[in-house]
A and B are shown apart, each in its own frame.
Chain A
Amino acid sequence: MHELAITQALIGLVNEHADRAGATKVGRINLVVGEMSGFVDQCVQFYFDQMSVGTVMEGAELTFKRVPTTGRCRDCGKEFEIEEMDWTCPACGGNSIQLIGGNELFVESIEVD
């Protein structure tokens, strides 16, 4: 729902790192996105295509590595993927689950010339 703000922040971050590397062209940006961050890939790509015009990353391809929502049972320590909003430990049936994955939103790497 906030892809515009995310895309602005993304472009700022990539610019900084491309600049530091003295890159003249960014061909690809590899992102890691948790399932829980309300984030629509096509929507980010759409904003990106518009907003990157005239920058070193114009025309770059965005790749999205999705990370599933993952929890750790506080009772037995089991780590498992949370599907269909079922926050019950599959091992012991416990309901006290610490969120350990699924909220990621970072740039893993950029591919530059």
Chain B
Amino acid sequence: MEIKVLKDILSANDQLAQGNRKLLDDKGVLALNLMSTPGAGKTSLILATIERLKDKVSIGVIEGDVSSSIDAERISREGIPVLQINTGGECHLDAVMIQRALGNMPLDDIDLLLIENVGNLVCTAEFDTGAHRNVVIASIPEGDDKPLKYPLMFTVADVILLNKTDLLPYLRFDIDAYRRSVRGLNDKVEVFEVSCETGQGLEQWLSWIDSQLKRL
């Protein structure tokens, strides 16, 4: 006997993610899911954001890595509540891991939760964590063809930070072509050109965060 199921394999994850989002809403916390390749600058962006916002906004960080706590140690030196998730081989964070992490975060004391996902442009795009917005950090050394190679990531993004623009004079990267590819896949996404090294362009990112915090 054949039984129709027609159910998404990740539906259990999606339900948990909705629960996480509800909890965050109830606590008045804006959660951003930061995704990128390894080395695009997620941790640098988190540190740059903390440096510029910590006097105005209470920030918490969840760090996802396959192993090690190097990033979490860098962030905790800033006096920010940070929780390390070691996925133990899994290539992405999922809603269960975030649910557990939220239980150990001082949600009553924070306004903004930055979730650093595992460096990976494939799997992370498929698992809803329960964050309110998806932020993709791309970088100049990756090349301008990544949106067309990893279309799902660029389709789920709410905002894209094109980092390491200070390297533009040294590398071949067609920003107009890049913007066209991104726009083609996702006509709502915003793209900010930034450099965490020089600080250039970060004000757009900070004012975007501000606009999202007000919306919550």
Contacts and interface: CB of A to CB of B under 8 A. Distances in A.
Interface of A: 1-2, 4-6, 9-10, 12-14, 17-18, 21, 23, 31, 36-38, 69, 74, 85, 87, 95-97, 99, 103, 105-113
Interface of B: 1-13, 89-92, 94, 120, 122-123, 126-127, 148-149, 151-152, 155, 180-181, 183-185, 187
A105 to B, nearest CB: 5
Contact of B4 (A36, A105, A109): A109
A9 B123 contact: no
Residues of B contacting A: mostly: mixed
A37 B155 CA distance: 13
Contacts, number: 100
A12 B151 CA distance: 29
Contacts of B5: 13-14, 17, 106-110
Nearest to A6: B9
Given A13-B12, A109-B3, A112-B3, A2 B187 contact: no
Contacts of B4: 108-109
A110 B89 CA distance: 30
A110 B9 CA distance: 13
Nearest to B154: A99
A87 B184 contact: yes
Contacts of B9: 6, 9-10, 13, 31, 105-107
